[in-house]
Amino acid sequence: MKRLKVLRLPLKLREELDRKLDEGETSYLELLSFIRSRHPGADLSRFALARYARYHRAERELYLEARRMFEAWLAIGLDRNEKTQGSPPASGRS
């Protein structure tokens, strides 16, 4: 994968950008203006920003899916633990 130009921006600025992307209420032109006001030397195009936005959305979806899976497994484990509490563990022998 080609290195994204947005990843060269300072971390704090990227975090602010990510928050604005998550909110979804700002156009790419407004985001570029925001970036350039905070980091005047930023050499970004709308295309580069759109490519980063796609990358960010994909990463966020992976994170949310992993979190949903973790919560599901945790619920299963807690449910099994509640059902087996108080009963002796199975020895595996008959």
Q: Can you give the pLDDT at residue 90?
A: 59
Number of domain units in the chain = 1
pLDDT of residue 17: 96
Q: Tell me if 90 is assigned to some domain.
A: no
Q: What are the 10-residue block averages of pLDDT along the chain, 94 residues in total?
A: 83 96 93 94 92 93 93 82 62 56
Q: Residue 93: inside a domain, yes or no? A: no
pTM of structure = 0.68
Domain that holds residue 54: 5-84
Q: Is 76 exposed, middle or buried (CB count within 10 Å of its CB: 0-12, 13-18, 19+)? A: exposed
